[in-house]
Amino acid sequence: MKTQKFDSIVDLVVARSPLQKKKLRAYLARRDASFMEEAESFANDYCGYLESQKIPLEFAVSAYLEMCAMMMRCQIEFMKTGSYTIQEHSQAFEETYSNKEKMTSYMIGLAISQFLWETHYEILKSFERATETYCPTVDSYLEIGPGHGLYLHKAMKLLKPHTRIKVIDISPVSIAITKSIMAHFHPQRASISYCTDDVLKHDTEERFGFVVMGEVLEHINVPQRVLVKLNKLLEVDGRAFVSTAINSPAVDHVYHYKSVDDVRVMIRNAGLEIENELVLPVEDLPMEEIVEKKITINYCAVLKKETGHE
Ligand SMILES: C[S@@+](CC[C@H](N)C(=O)[O-])C[C@H]1O[C@@H](n2cnc3c(N)ncnc32)[C@H](O)[C@@H]1O
């Protein structure tokens, strides 16, 4: 099949960053026809969205490369010091979440990484499976930290027309991006409640059948508190899709998970059970080496309330 649009993104990335060429081409060579079909459909949809926002593809590719370079800088520092670049959520808010230019660029870069990074793609597929299982029947959906808005866009295709939908993000920029994604792809859906708020400070008695919290835990000083809050926000039979990253430095990552077990213990201590999970190291090496070299591991899981925890 022809993958003209996706190829144009890959070609621009490779032309601008010869460093990425070998790894990216090797990754794409391992992908099957159904991946290519999906990647092309994503590229067409996302480029259509960018065009509607008057954002040139070249800008989007620069945003992606800037995000990769930022992560590389943080990684080098992490290798030297063993610590993340920042330790305070308030600093991430001041320097990143509230900065329109920086956050817009970051979220566009992250959106593109969904198909260019193997681990992000696997998490997206896992999210897709979870939404296919739960979204068609739930009456309420909450997303915490939608960022680029693509997860909500995916879920929206499966949610019933009258499902109660709420979105919470501390970044006004992420909320604006998510709104624009909804306006572009789901213009008929008017009744979404958007809250620009810190999830920890968000005061509500509402409960939700499905809660999504992708890559938020590592952004919080005490992520255990968010998991406890997530538990409180879940209906008794509800499910949550959560992802995070271990040994993963970035300009806005403040909590350093040192192992997958760190994450699992925190989940259980919050009264939640892991229904299924994916552990995704970013390098194809034996797990012993991944741990020893502190190589980033992406992680996602479907969670439910621990029996008896209502
Ligand atoms: C890395 S992005 C995640 C984007 C997307 N969910 C994903 O998985 O790719 C993290 C998002 O969490 C938001 N965030 C960080 N701290 C938060 C908090 N305390 N309350 C609500 N949102 C928060 C950020 O503004 C950002 O939009």
pLDDT level of residue 189 (50, 70, 90 thresholds)? confident
Report the range of poorest mean pLDDT among 168-172, 189-193, 270-274, 280-284. 189-193
Instruction: Say how many Å lie between the CA of residue 145 and the centre of ligand 1.
Output: 3
Q: What is the pLDDT of residue 2?
A: 80
Measured in Å, how far apart are the chain's first and last C-alpha atoms? 50
Question: Domain 118-305 in CATH: superfamily?
Answer: Vaccinia Virus protein VP39 (3.40.50.150)
Q: Is the pLDDT of residue 310 over 80?
A: no
The atom number, within ligand 1, closest to the CA of 174 reads 27
Report the range of poorest mean pLDDT among 6-15, 19-28, 78-87, 255-264. 19-28
Percent of the chain predicted with pLDDT > 90 = 95
Note the helical H segments in the chain: 4-16, 18-29, 33-52, 57-81, 89-92, 100-116, 118-134, 150-156, 172-185, 223-233, 260-269, 287-292
pLDDT level of residue 280 (50, 70, 90 thresholds)? very high
For residue 146, CA distances in Å to 68, 202, 256 come to 20, 16, 21
Question: By three-state DSSP, how is residue 239 classified?
Answer: strand
Instruction: Say how many Å lie between the CA of residue 3 and the centre of ligand 1.
Output: 31
Q: What is the mean pLDDT of residues 259-285?
A: 97
pLDDT level of residue 47 (50, 70, 90 thresholds)? very high
Round the average pLDDT of the chain to a whole number and report it.
Answer: 96
**Report field, pTM of the whole predicted structure over 0.85:** yes
For 103-161, the pLDDT digits (tens) are 999 999 999 999 999 999 999 999 999 999 999 999 999 999 999 999 999 999 999 99
Q: What is the pLDDT of residue 3?
A: 85
Q: Which of 91, 169, 254 to mutate for ligand 1's pocket (most ligand atoms within 8 Å of CB)?
A: 169
Q: What is the pLDDT of residue 309?
A: 64
Domain spans in the chain, listed from the N-terminal domain onward: 4-116, 118-305
> Please, what is the angle between helix 100-116 and helix 33-52, to 10°?
160
Q: Is the pLDDT of residue 239 over 70?
A: yes
For 2-36, the pLDDT digits (tens) are 889 999 999 999 999 988 899 899 999 999 999 99
Q: Is the pLDDT of residue 214 over 80?
A: yes
Instruction: Find the residues whose C-beta lies inside 6 A of ligand 1.
Output: 97, 110, 144-148, 151, 168-171, 174, 198-200, 214-216, 219-220, 243
- Determine the Cα–Cα distance for residues 258 and 248; give it in Å rounded to an integer: 9
